[in-house]
Amino acid sequence: MKKQVLFLLLLLAFGSAANVLVAQNCSSILAEAKTALSRQHFEQALRKLQDTEICDIRNEMLKERQDLYHEIFQAVSDLRDKAEHDAESLKVSTKQLRESGEALQKAFDDTGRAKQLAEDALAESKRTETRAIEAEKEAVAAGRRSDSLLAVANNILGSLYFYENRFALAYDGLRYGFMDRSGKPVIPFQYNTAVPFDQKTGLAQVSRNYQQFLLDTSGCEYLLAQSLVPFNSSVEAVYLSSQTLDFLPGWFYETKQLRYVALDNNRLVTISGRIGELTSLQQLDLSLNYLGKVPDNLTLLSTLTRLDLSNNRLRALPRVWRLPALTSLNLGYNRLKDFAPDEFNSPNLRRLNLSNNRLTVVPPVVASCPQLELLDLSGNELTTMPQQAGHFPNLKVLDLSLNRFSTVPPGLGGLSGLRELRLALNQITELPSELGRLANLELLDLSHNRLDALPESFQNLTNLRVLNLAGNRLTELPAWLSKLPRLEKIYRAGNPVRFVPEELKSKVE
C-alpha cells in the first residue's frame, strides 16, 4: 500500500509549480536526473526532479518527469524488495546451518573426522550468519533510504495548496482534476485547464470542451461568461474584473439566473437599484471601484452569501445587515465613520471585515452577529470595545491592530474559542490578566506598543505557538515562557532586552 501511495504522491506532486524556468533548463535538469538514475543515485535524481517543480513546462516534459518519478520509485522498490528477500533467505540458511552444526558437534564425540567436519561446518555457519547480519543491515539501510525518499515525496505534497485542507489541483498527464491529501481524486480528471480553488470565493475556474466554468467543491459547474455581451440563459457566472467598466447595461439585470458576479477593479461610480432583480445571486464582488453608495435594493438578494464592497468610497453603510443568507461581508478600505442603527437580519454572518475605515466606535450591530468567526477592525480609530466584546463563542480571529487602544478590554478574555489575537501598532501600556484565559490562542501579536511587562497569567496559554513582542519596552523575557509546551517562536526585536534565559534562546528571534 505504501508503494502505491508513494507512486501516486510522486505522480501528482508536480501539479502546483510556483515559478517559471525556461524549457531548456528544465530539459537539462531532467537529463541530469536520468543520468543520476542510471547510476542508481536515486536521492540525487529525485532532488533534480524537485528542481523542475518550479518550471513552467510543456505537457510532454510533464510526462517525461512523471515517467522518471515512476522509474525512481520502481528502482527503489526493487532494491528494497531484493534486499529484504536476500535477508530472509539468509536467515533461513542460517537456521539450517546452525542445526547442521549442532548435529555435527554431537558426532564429534564419536569420531575425530566427524569432529573436524562439524568444526568446519560450524565455522561456515558463523560466516553465513555474519553475511546474514550484513544483509539484514543493508536491508535496514535500504529501508531508511526508502523512508527518506518517502519523506521527500511528503515534503513535495506538503508544498501543494490544499483548499480547506482537502482540494489540491492535480494533473494526470491528460486532464486536470483535484485530489485530497491521500492522493485520492475528489473531483474527476476531466478539465483541459484549471486553477486552484480561490480562498476568497471557494470556487475554481476550469475549462472543458471549449467552455469555461466555475466549479464548487461539490463538483457542480456553472457556465462562465467573461465579457459584457448579452448572455444566454445557461450562463450562471460572470467574471468582468479589470475591464474598465463604468456602467452596466439594462439587459445585464435581466439575466436573473446569475449566481456569481465579479465586477471588481473597474470604474463603477454607481450601481442601479435593479441589482435587486438578480434574486439568484450567491456571490457579488464590487470591490476596487469608485462607489460612494449602493442601493438599498441589495436587501432583496435573499440568497446572497458573500458580498465584497471593499476598496470603494462608501461613507454610509447600506442595509446589508438584512441579508439572511450572508456569511461573508467585506467593507474594508472605505470611508465609513459610523453606522446608523439598523434592524439586524444576518444571523449566519461568519466573516466581517471593517478594516481601514474611520470608525471611532465598534458598530453596535456587530454585537448581533453570534456566529462570527473572523472580525477585522484593524486600521481604524478605536479606543475601546463594547462590553459585549467577549460574547462571541465562535470567534477564532480578532484583529484590532493599528487603532488607538491604550488598554485592552478585560472582556476579551471571554473569547474562549479565539486562536489569533492581533493588537499590534496601538499604544498599549499594560495587559489585563484575563487574557490568560484564552486557552486556545495560537498566535498573539503585541508588537509596536508600549509594554514593559507581561502578565504571569500568560503561563496558562498552553496552545500558544507564536508570540510577537517586537517594538516594545521589555527589558527581559520571563523564564516561565519556556514552560509553554507548544511555543515555537518569540519575536523580540526593538526591545531593550538585556538577558534572554538559556532555555528560550532557540525560540527567540
pTM (whole model) above 0.75: no
Helices (H), 284-404: none
Write out pLDDT tens, residues 397-444: 999 999 999 999 898 999 999 999 999 999 999 999 999 999 999 999
Q: What is the pLDDT of residue 103?
A: 67
**Taking a C-beta distance cutoff of 8 angstroms, is the pair 285, 261 a contact?**
yes
Q: How far apart are the first and last CA of the chain?
A: 42
Distance CA 320, CA 81 (A): 64
Q: Average of pLDDT values for 145-153?
A: 57
Kindly report the average pLDDT of the chain as a whole number.
82
The answer to whether 339 and 364 have CB atoms below 8 angstroms apart is yes
Judge whether residue 459 has pLDDT over 60: yes
For 502, list phi and psi in degrees, rounded to 5: -55, -40
Residues 6+ apart with CB under 8 A from 477: 469, 490, 492, 497, 499, 500, 501, 504, 508
Average pLDDT rounded to a whole number, residues 372-393: 87
pLDDT tens for residues 55-112?
A: 655 556 667 777 777 777 677 677 777 767 776 776 766 677 677 667 666 655 666 6
Contact 488, 509 (CB under 8 A): no
DSSP H or E stretch at residue 37: helix 23-38
Structure confidence at residue 344 (pLDDT): 62
> Distances from the Cα of 169 to the Cαs of 40, 160, 172, in angstroms?
31, 8, 10
Cα–Cα dist 419/439, whole Å: 9
Residue 353 near residue 330, CB atoms below 8 Å: yes
Q: Give me the helices (H) in 55-193, please.
A: 59-107, 112-158
> Which pLDDT belongs to residue 191?
93
Q: What is the pLDDT of residue 342?
A: 63
- Residue for grid cell 519556556: 482
Task: Specify the pLDDT at position 260.
Answer: 96
Residues 337-372 have pLDDT tens digits of 877 666 567 789 999 999 999 999 888 878 888 899
Instruction: Let me know the angle formed at the C-alpha of 161 by 304 and 351, rounded to the nearest 5 degrees.
Output: 30
d(CA 64, CA 30): 8
Secondary structure (3-state) at 353: strand
- Vertex 357: Cα angle to 421 and 369 (nearest 5): 55
Write the burial class of residue 127 (CB in 10 Å: 0-12 exposed, 13-18 middle, 19+ buried).
Answer: exposed
* Residues 167, 187: Cα–Cα separation, whole Å: 8
One DSSP character per residue, 226-274 reads -SSSPPPTT--EEE-TTS------GGGGG-TT--EEE--SS------GG
